[in-house]
Amino acid sequence: MKGITIKLPDVTLRRLKDEARATGRSVAALVRERVDTLPVADGRSVHALISDLAGCVAGTRAPASNARRKFRRA
């Protein structure tokens, strides 16, 4: 097993230490558990990962426009 170094906010580290103390486990074990439970992308594209969200945004089909006059280069 190889090691890494991470920097965490004080609040996050405090919560990890409290949970480690309450469960009798090490902070490293808790971090490993959380990293192991991260979702795996399986090499899929961003579109494939969020395709179930397609069509959930309401709005007009017209493209965005800016009614201000355009700036001209001098």
pLDDT digits (tens, 9 = 90+) for 3-50: 888 899 999 999 999 999 999 999 999 999 998 887 776 777 777 777
Nearest to 13 by CA among 25, 35, 28, 33: 28
pTM above 0.75, yes or no: no
Q: Where are the domains of the chain?
A: 10-53
Q: Alpha-carbon distance 9 to 14, whole Å?
A: 9
pLDDT of residue 11: 95
Q: How many CB atoms lie within 10 A of CB 57?
A: 6
Nearest to 45 by CA among 37, 55, 54, 33: 54
